[in-house]
Structure 1
Amino acid sequence: MSHEIFKLPAGLPTPCKDVDLRDADIIRRGLALFGPEFSTALALCALDAWLDANDREYSRWSTLFNKLRN
């Protein structure tokens, strides 16, 4: 469910699902898309994964959130 926050605007090419972006790329793109609200978007994704009991997704979003803060 948390992936819905990161839908691209209409008209942009969508990435393949099997592409594993590096954390730095995700942070760079997220900041470009969400600006200063990107940390909130990451926190909401982590919360959503935690509520879904999806440990893998929760760990991923939490790691990105912590890297963004540092």
Structure 2
Amino acid sequence: MKKIMKYLAAFTVLMVLSLSASVLAQPSPGSNSGGDPVGGPPIGGGTAPIGGGIVLLITMAAGYGIKKAFDARNKFE
């Protein structure tokens, strides 16, 4: 029981320290540490390029489907 309490106390202390460090490290939303706005005006209407991510996701899904089909086919042979 003492061992569990030691681990629980250590875990609690580490969690409190990590949460307080992350809260103190962040500037206010929308500005950097000098108070100036972050970045500049959005490029192209503020849209993020997601085309490469979608292609990667579809390629990985297709590869997974082909692997599952191949494994299922070999299982019956």
TM-score bracket relative to the smaller structure: under 0.3
The structure with the larger Rg is: 2
Length-normalised TM-score, structure 1: 0.26
RCO higher in structure (CA 8 A, sep ≥6):
1
